[in-house]
Structure 1
Amino acid sequence: MYLLLWIVFAGIVFFATIPLVSKKNRTRWKITQAIITTVSVILAIIMIEFLHIVPLIGIVFVVIFSFLTDRSTYTKVGLIITGVVVILIAAGAYYVFHDDPDFVQNYIDNHPDLASIHLTVDGETVLSQQGQVKRPLASVVKTIIAIEYANQAAKGTIDPEQSVPLAELDKFYLENTDGGAHPSWLEEMRAAGHIVNDSVPLHQVAKGMIRYSSNANTDFLIEKLGTESINLVIEQLELENHDPIYPLVSALLASNYLNDQHDGNYSNSELEEMLRSLSMDKYRELVWEIHGKLEQGETDFFSQPVSVPMGLQQVWSDRLPNASAEDYAKVMQAISNNTATVPGGEDILRDVMEWPMELHASNRERYAHFGAKGGSTAFVLNQALYVEDHNGKKIELIIFTEGFNFIEQIKMNKNMNSFMSEVIDRHFSTD
């Protein structure tokens, strides 16, 4: 997913080691410099790929070590330049990473074309900015699938304890495309002893779709539950601006599939144009065709790992199911009021959605109920949640944002939780 960054890192290693080809340059300092630079790049890659840190931190890490291994750094002029660079990096890091919940509110206020917020307290709307505008949902859409899962479990159509072979989930897993969500979920399943004979209970698959946002689990559940049943939930909850739901993973492979059908002769820009020119009905048909290929194990049109250029990721992100913040206020309110499912599905759905109550003891102390689903791509950051305090007061908060630049994206990710916490605390503290 970071192909350009890896090329830059490879270039840094190349220019640090190429002088060693000449025998006269193989001094102890030059060799040490090449080793330290190479090690710093390897460590940066490990931090980005396996610890999922922001790429900017890895870049800064490599830059700092490059300065420290440059002999000119230790001259008088070099020390002055280094000092200035360190101050600038520190100032930039403080701006980007310090706690600043107001940044989220300012982004929403200053970008009405790119952001929506909707807040309800005890069933009454107290704030709605661009609440009726349709925006890409990203993984927030998985809430609808969770509702239908709870419906079918309550009706006995499916068995929550059914063992699902991991191989069935692997059909829909694309390596390095989900920020480590699916591997992290599998790691927890192994640690908790839920994996038996390479299978996991269906209920844990649903929980992994919500808590970890596993796209593989999502597309498996879409196949298992049936798209007609899932999309019927949209009608039952009277969501006026909600697009039909379709597979997420298969959509990410649309460009690979089209290119393979035409012998790989299309450029990325041509593929972008082709995908954007398709009507949404035709686009969804294409995605379902790809989904069928994956379900049958026919994967010859792509190879792992998948690398999707940013332009094509933008098409994928834009064409994910859209809905409004008002729609998801209805969804969260229905879950909170136990009206989202058929009778008997309430507790099943809460067990799937209320993972924040399991995650932090402080949430159990503050709230009687707390359910949430976030969603993000490289271009979108969304949150939808409901909370109920121990006095029975209820809040639903929906935030849909998109269109930010790289720095804005970092700050939005860094401050979204603290902003939501401020909003919730402010309204719980008022009578």
Structure 2
Amino acid sequence: MNIKCKVSYAVLFLSAIVFADVYKFNVMAQSPYIIVDYIKANEKDSPISFMLEVNDEPLISVNPFTKMPLASTFKLTLAVEYARQVGEKMLKPHAKVDIDTIEQYYLPKIDGDAHLKWLEYIEENNLLQNDSISISEVVKGMVMFNSDANTDFLMNYLGIENINATIRTLGLRDHSEVYPIGGALAIADYINLKENLSETELEKRITKMTNREYINQAIIIQDLMNTNSLPSEVKNAKIATSNFDIQQIWIDRFISATANDYMSLLDIINSRTYFNKDAQDELNHVLEYLVYDPIIEENLNHFGFKNGNISGVLTDARYAEDKEGNKIEIVLMMNDLSQKDYNTILNNIDQFMMRCILDENFRDKVVTMLN
């Protein structure tokens, strides 16, 4: 498929900006080659992974087995587990949950107002019925808007043990255990409420925790959310939202995996043969919400993605099938970015990823430059 690059590539996700991780950028300042140049210059010295496949043929594989924090891209595993349970008749996508139940998991100021934007969206689109929302829409809110409250609610609803079991079943060998991200972020405030430690003491306490202790503490806090009994002092997460060192511990210990893990996951999703029809249909429904975007509709049979960004970390996983039936998967993961590099890459990553999918000539140039 040969499609000339257009400025409209950069406009493609203006609708998605409302839904996914918010990209605030100047369209005219974008250049997808900035990403290529950065990968080429830093792949041997910095935590960078980049993989590109077309029709199961690896075209680029840069540091595929380097394990990194996933940011919100890990939420793809929850979408997969949700679809699996729908396919196995364990839950119904149109089952309702009270919106107040989801609010039990909301920690103010931790997700860039993503949850609040989701609430606005479901109200504006009349998706609330008697203050209830369908599970399917909750999953879409996690994927489209990146709501952390929806994410932690779904961990409880689907079962953390089920999510982690599916990760293992899918063969994602280097994927770390999934655990409540809101619960983890609130650990410092929870310990402080009980023991009244200084922030320096809190940092030392959390840093010294084993991985198991850290996850168990996050689950304890999640259990309080489950019963709507989380103290307001913890829910406000004042320490976590104001102390950079505490935030950095959370980032360093974040759910992690390799680009190879997520390439394998995209292969499974894009094959459309691994899951049964009900599961695949529901997975398509929650991941491929841009299907009616004019550029997607004109050039692709289907397209889905999940991305994420937290301080110094950018991750992005996308899959598509073009009009000729070519299947394309692409994964980009970066960690330990300086603030300047983080901003520059954030401003250009979307156009780069979409050019790799939509523009065969550009894709060929990237392959040449990085091989």
TM-score class, shorter: 0.7 to 0.9
RMSD: 2.1
- Whether the 8 Å contact between 1:205 and 1:217 is mirrored in structure 2 is yes
Partner of 2:208: 277
Match of 2:6 in 1: none
Q: Secondary structure at the match of 2:333?
A: strand
Looking at structure 2, the residues matched to 393 and 355 of structure 1 have their Cα atoms a distance apart, in angstroms, of 20
Counterpart for residue 304 of structure 1? 236
After superposition, residues 330-349 of structure 1 pair within 5 angstroms as 330-349=264-283
Please give the per-residue CA displacement for 1:238-277, whole angstroms capped at 9, x wherever unaligned.
Answer: 1111011111111110111121221x2222x332222222
Matches within 5 A, 1:329-368: 329-358=263-292, 360-368=293-301
Change (3 A) 1:422 1:322: same
Q: Is there any run of 5+ residues in structure 2 with no aligned partner, and where? A: 1-21, 365-371
Q: Deviations over 1:10-69 (max 9, x none)?
A: xxxxxxxxxxxxxxxxxxxxxxxxxxxxxxxxxxxxxxxxxx897xx9xxxxxxxxxxxx
What are the residue-to-residue correspondences of 1:407-418 with 2, within 5 Å? 407-418=340-351
**Is 1:229 the equivalent of 2:162?**
yes
Distance 1:251 1:292 in 2: 12
User: For residue 217 of structure 2, what is the aligned residue in structure 1?
Assistant: 286
Pair 1:385 & 2:288 matched? no
- Give the SS at the match of 1:298: coil
1:121 aligns with 2:54: yes
Structure 1 pair 316–192 and aligned structure 2 pair: CA distance change class (3 A)? same
Alignment of 1:38-187 (within 5 A): 98-112=29-43, 113-187=46-120
Q: 1:110 to 1:258 in 2, by over 3 A?
A: farther
- Aligned equivalent of 2:248: 314
Contact 2:54 2:327 in 1 (8 A): yes
| Matching residue's letter, 1:103 | I
- Return 403-412 or 209-218, whichever deviates more: 403-412
Alpha-carbon displacement from aligned partner over 1:314-341 (angstroms, at most 9, x marks no partner): 1111211110001100101100112453
Letter in 2 for 1:350: N
Q: Distance in 1 between matches of 2:28 and 2:235?
A: 36
Give the conservation status (yes or no) of the 8 Å contact 1:148–1:341: no
1:357: Cα distance to partner?
A: 1.9
SS in 2 for 1:103: helix
Q: 1:282 to 1:165 in 2, by over 3 A?
A: same
Q: In structure 2, how many angstroms separate the alpha carbons of the residues matched to 1:334 and 1:423?
A: 20
Rg comparison, structure with higher value: 1
SS at match of 2:166: helix
Is the alpha carbon distance of 1:168 and 1:115 closer, same or farther for their aligned partners in structure 2, counting shifts above 3 Å? Answer: same
The TM-score with structure 2 as length reference comes to: 0.86
Unaligned runs of 5+ in 1: 1-51, 58-93
Secondary structure of the structure 2 residue equivalent to 1:302:
helix
1:240 to 146, 149, 173: 173
Query: What is the rounded CA distance, in whole Å, between the counterparts of 2:307 and 2:88 in structure 1?
Result: 28
> Which residue does 2:17 correspond to in 1?
none
User: In structure 2, how many angstroms separate the alpha carbons of the residues matched to 1:119 and 1:250?
Assistant: 34
- Output one character per residue of 1:275-332: Cα deviation in whole Å (capped at 9) or x when no partner: 2221111111111011111111222242537424221111111211110001100101
Higher helix content, 1 or 2:
1
Q: After the TM superposition, which parts of structure 1 deviate over 6 Å for at least 4 consecutive aligned residues?
A: 428-431
Kindly indicate whether the alpha-carbon contact (under 8 Å) linking 1:331 and 1:340 is maintained by their aligned counterparts in 2. Answer: no
Match of 1:26 in 2: none
SS in 2 for 1:294: helix
Partner Cα distance (2:344, 2:94) in 1: 41
In structure 1, C-alpha distance between the alignment counterparts of 2:87 and 2:197, rounded to whole Å = 50
Q: Secondary structure at the match of 2:254?
A: coil
* Other structure's SS at 2:111 match: coil
Please give the TM-score of this superposition, normalised by the length of structure 1.
0.74
> How big is each residue's C-alpha offset from its partner over 1:93-131, in whole Å with a ceiling of 9 and x where there is no partner?
x9x982122222222223333211011110111111111
Distance change (3 Å), C-alpha of 1:244 and 1:341: farther
Q: Deviations over 1:194-230 (max 9, x none)?
A: 1011111111001111111111111111101111111
Separation in 1, partners of 2:99, 2:361:
42
Verify the 8 A CA contact 2:108 2:235 in the aligned structure 1.
no
| Structure with more relative contact order (C-alpha pairs < 8 Å, separation 6 or more) | 2
| Distance verdict in 2 for CA 1:290–1:340, change over 3 Å | farther
Corresponding residue SS for 1:119: strand
2:19 counterpart residue number: none
The 3-state SS of whatever aligns with 1:349 is: helix
| Cα distance in 2 between the residues matched to 1:160 and 1:261 | 39
CA contact (8 A) 1:209 1:215 kept: yes
The number of residue pairs the alignment matches comes to 338
Q: 1:215 to 1:157 in 2, by over 3 A?
A: same
Say whether the 8 Å CA contact 1:354–1:372 is kept in structure 2. yes
Q: CA deviation at 1:342?
A: 4.2
Q: 2:35, 2:348 within 8 Å by CA — same for their partners in 1?
A: yes
